[in-house]
Structure 1
Amino acid sequence: MSEMNLSDLAAKMREIDICMLMTHTDNGAIAGRPMSNNRDVEYDGDSYFFTWDKSRMTSDIEGNSKVALTFQGAKAFSISLEGEAELVRDKEAFREHWTPDLDDWFKEGVDTPGVVMIKVHATRAHYWDGMDEGEIKIE
């Protein structure tokens, strides 16, 4: 079994732009959708994503904040994170995690009406690196 720590995991996550964010719907189904981490990976267990406030994903999180993230990297490297999602509507917090690529989706930047940031605080990370695998509990 591999012995990665959170810093090692962050370095690997920086190489992966798109992950799948899974939520629980109001009828108990699990819904997944691709999301960009915007290379905002000074990883301490928190991931940040931007979406529309009126999206299905936002209403799913309002109903059940437990979510999962999955990342697929190069050469059979994968990460599965479990955690709690929080919806953030503070523009100052947006600025801390905004990248220029987001302007393609949100034309007025952090001032775009209806934008919301999703902060996911992971509590557990499971990773696979070829034949090696491991788990990191995150406080």
Structure 2
Amino acid sequence: MSNLNNSHQEAVETVRDLIKGIDTAMLTTISAEGLVSRPMKTQEVEFDGDLWFLTKKDTSKFEEILHDPRVNVIYADKSYVSIRGTAKLVQDVEKKKEFWNPGYDAFLQTSYDDPDVILIRVQAEAAEYWKSGNLAEKVTYLFKRLTKQDTEQSNLNETIDLK
């Protein structure tokens, strides 16, 4: 059991290191028409297996999560991270206050204690990442793999279980 806990902790730490300092993520939900992605402000809290976002109840993402909580969150900067998980809608005034900053006053045109403001808690299940490096080399490699010009295996990316 100890090895399982250690590997889980290592996976969380890997993702934490990769997404640290990235202000915006792309949150993908499932709508009646298919997948929908939109930029979301990342909360300034260390990743512990959960990601947090603020939104309002009168948004399509709120309705989409109510109907299907499966989501994906993408972070891109010097590394690329795709996190698959389950979203929960959380109405916790103290947690909203913890995450609130003056930018939300203008963006959401309300305050943290507005009952229409809701938290989205994404419980991460797995993450796939591509470490930083020479992007041109990676694109060339992927193109060659897609066009079957190169049959060698590579460790350009890795998938880790966060459950």
Using the size of structure 1 for normalisation, the TM-score is 0.84
Please tell me whether residue 24 in structure 1 is matched to residue 30 in structure 2: yes
Cα deviation code 1:40-84 (max 9, x no counterpart) = 24111101101111100000000000000011012xx10000000
The answer for the alignment partner of 1:11 in structure 2 is 17
Cα shift at 1:97: 3.0
Residues in 2 aligned to 1:106 and 1:125: alpha-carbon distance in whole angstroms: 29
- Determine if contact 1:14/1:41 at 8 Å carries over to the other structure: no
The unaligned stretches of length 5 or more in structure 1 are none
User: For 1:37-48, what aligned pairs fall within 5 Å after superposition?
Assistant: 37-38=42-43, 40-48=44-52
Shift of 1:100: 4.1
Structure with greater Cα Rg? 2
Q: Give the unaligned 5+ runs of structure 2.
A: 1-9, 139-155
Structure 1 position 135 matched with structure 2 position 139: no
CA distance in 2, matches of 1:25, 1:100: 31
The reply to whether residue 34 of structure 1 matches residue 42 of structure 2 is no
**Residues 1:41 and 1:13: Cα distance change in structure 2 (over 3 Å):** farther
User: Identity of aligned pairs, percent?
Assistant: 30
Over aligned residues, Cα RMSD in angstroms? Answer: 1.9
More helix by share: 2
Give 1:98-109 correspondences, 5 Å limit: 98-109=100-111
- The structure that is strand-richer by fraction is 1
Alignment counterpart, residue 112 of structure 2, candidates 95, 110, 113: 110
For residue 115 of structure 1, report the CA deviation from its aligned partner.
0.8
Instruction: Indicate the residue corresponding to 2:58 in structure 1.
Output: 54
Aligned AA (1:37): T
8 Å Cα contact 2:12/2:47 also seen in 1: yes
d(CA) in 2 for partners of 1:95, 1:84:
23
